[in-house]
């Protein structure tokens, strides 16, 4: 059975949208933003995948050994919190989409 032309057109648009979203995700993964807080004493850099990639603490705040350890711990802690938040979000979305019988793993743009 052949799909009606309107449905075929809609499916092509959805496929193109998904391709564009994947391309955008890849581009965003390469981009970063940085913010300074505490009058420039701390700088945090995140990428487009919503991951913290660097935390920098000015020398005056800590000894060099403490500084490096603190920076690493903050990056690890923030990324673990974000990972758990994403997992919680996915679990809640799975509950919501279950009533619509959307197969697991089906990627619907804007939902996940």
**Domain annotation covers residue 16:** no
CATH code (residue 46): 3.30.1310
**For 100-105, what is the mean pLDDT?**
61
Q: Is residue 83 one of the residues assigned to a domain?
A: yes
Name the residue range of residue 56's domain.
31-98
In a domain, 58, yes or no: yes
Does 2 map to a domain? no
The predicted pLDDT at position 102 comes to: 58
Q: What is the pLDDT of residue 49?
A: 84
pTM attached to this predicted model: 0.62
* Structural domain total, the chain: 1
Task: Answer yes or no: is 5 within a domain.
Answer: no
pLDDT per residue over 64-99, tens digit each? 888 888 999 999 989 998 889 888 888 887 776 676
| Token pair belonging to 65 | 């050994």
User: Is 57 among the domain residues?
Assistant: yes
Residue 59 in any domain: the answer is: yes
Q: How far apart are CA 78 and CA 45, in angstroms?
A: 12
The answer, yes or no, to whether residue 107 has pLDDT greater than 70, is no
CA–CA gap between residue 44 and residue 53 (Å, rounded): 8
The contacts of residue 51 (CB under 8 Å, 6+ apart) are 79, 82
Residue 19 domain flag: no
Helix or strand holding residue 36 (H, E)? strand 32-37
Residues 16-55: tens digit of each pLDDT: 888 888 888 888 888 999 999 888 889 999 988 888 889 9
The answer on pLDDT for 105 being more than 70 is: no
3-state class (DSSP) for residue 2 = coil
């Amino acid at each position: 059975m052949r799909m009606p032309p309107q449905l075929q057109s809609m499916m092509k648009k959805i496929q193109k949208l998904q391709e564009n979203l994947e391309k955008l995700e890849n581009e965003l993964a390469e981009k970063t933003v940085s913010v300074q807080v505490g009058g420039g004493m701390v700088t945090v850099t995140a990428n487009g995948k919503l991951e913290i990639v660097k935390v920098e603490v000015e020398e005056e705040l800590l000894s060099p050994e403490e500084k490096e350890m603190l920076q690493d711990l903050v990056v690890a802690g923030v990324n673990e919190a974000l990972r758990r938040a994403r997992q919680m979000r996915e679990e809640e979305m799975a509950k919501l989409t279950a009533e619509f019988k959307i197969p697991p793993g089906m990627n619907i743009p804007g939902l996940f």
